[in-house]
Structure 1
Amino acid sequence: MTTTTQKLSFEDYLAYSDGTDTRYELIDGALVPMSLGTGKHGAIIHFLTRQFEDTITQIEQPWVALPALVGIRSPRGRRWDTSRIPDVTVLPLAQWEAMENREAVIDFNEPPPLLVVEVISPSTQADDYRSKRSEYGLLEIPEYWIVDPLENKVAICLLDHEFYDLTEFHGDTLIQSPTLPVLKLTAAQILAGKL
């Protein structure tokens, strides 16, 4: 559901406030409120954020994993009036700290995140598989996870020339992540949101 009828520029979006705590993505200049999702949706986000943080510590990288706290300015067609908020974003800690006194949005002239995750819900299924896959590829995000509790699978998309090659994982198959190679999680554990 779109909240505004008048199109906003990206700059207007960054300054927008309706006096509520509602978070919005900007899609082609239109504000789209983000729902909270189900408890299972939240459990998966929380679980992955914790697992990513533990793995980042283990591999001693100066990175951070953040649950739905960072926006990414994204192209749609020939316009840049879109800002996505992935369910989990992994990025360098220095990049996160550089956002301390500004909107937490990665602009098109900044390095992309290292990895993003979207957890499917019925209302986002088409966007997560199609639109975001295309947009994130153009932004050159190296790794994009699509966690799909509706189809009981986890898809890992790896960038190859601005396009993602997709591999699906089911059940007790171990996830293979180039960004986090020591991560030992199965698709079933991720979909359950617990070990």
Structure 2
Amino acid sequence: MYATSTEPYGADPFTLAYLETTPDNGKRHEIIDGVLFVSPAPGRDHQRALLRLAQTLEIVRPDGPEVLPGPYEYRPTDERSLQPDLLVLSPDDANPAYTDNPLLVVEIISPSTRLIDLHLKRNVYLEAGLTSYWIFEPEALVLTVLELENEQYAERTFTGDEVFEATLPFPVQVVPAELTRSRLA
């Protein structure tokens, strides 16, 4: 992931208004506290995991919540714009442009996003009070589940063929090894 200066064209820090004027170049643009982060398009394992996870969630999704593969904008504050890889939106989330209160955010680690997803975004999501945050590492077949408890994230890790029995945002079983297979059994 590439971070640019906090000052576009030598002026003030980047704002959400800047994103509205940025042409779509196929890259992900995120702003956290005035800093613009631009990352390249993800690779095959990343996209395969995104598709499999979205399918897994969509199959068992109850009426109401919406499973939305990203990038789709999440604005936890007026100074922060993130584009998670996958979101589950609340049934009362009616804004068509972005969400400010998702039920679940998933980040799929790419080499260029590793540090941002594991550290910076984790802290941003915690500060925003995001109830459920999952991180999937395709190369290691590791799913890290972070759920808010007493204003901190309780962390659980699942690897390979281990089954994660999720209750948030709704009951679903996720097996990390199945997320990168080229075909489902």
Cα distance 1:157–1:90, how it changes in 2: closer, same or farther (>3 A)? same
Conservation of the 8 A alpha-carbon contact between 1:47 and 1:194: no
Name the structure 1 match of 2:52.
47
Cα distance 1:188–1:140, how it changes in 2: closer, same or farther (>3 A)? same
Note the aligned Cα RMSD (angstroms).
2.2
Name the structure 1 match of 2:122.
133
Structure 2 counterpart of 1:8, which letter?
Answer: F
User: Taking structure 1 as the reference length, what is the TM-score of the superposition?
Assistant: 0.80
Match of 2:15 among 6, 9, 24: 9
What does 1:43-192 align with in structure 2 at a 5 Å threshold? 43-56=48-61, 60-74=62-76, 80-95=78-93, 98-100=94-96, 104-107=97-100, 112-180=101-169, 182-192=171-181
Name the structure 1 match of 2:43.
38
Structure 2 counterpart of 1:81, which letter?
Answer: E
Deviation at 1:21, TM superposition (A): 4.9
Q: Percent sequence identity over matched residues?
A: 28
Aligned residues: 178
Conservation of the 8 A alpha-carbon contact between 2:39 and 2:112: no
Q: Which ranges of structure 2 fall in alignment gaps of 5 or more residues?
A: none
How far apart, in 2, do the equivalents of 1:194 and 1:139 lie? 36
Deviation at 1:50, TM superposition (A): 1.4
Cα distance 1:121–1:194, how it changes in 2: closer, same or farther (>3 A)? same
What are the Cα deviations for residues 137-173 of structure 1, in whole angstroms up to 9, with x where unaligned?
A: 1212211110012332111111113321110001221
User: Taking structure 2 as the reference length, what is the TM-score of the superposition?
Assistant: 0.84
How far apart, in 2, do the equivalents of 1:126 and 1:33 lie? 14
How far apart, in 2, do the equivalents of 1:83 and 1:21 lie? 17
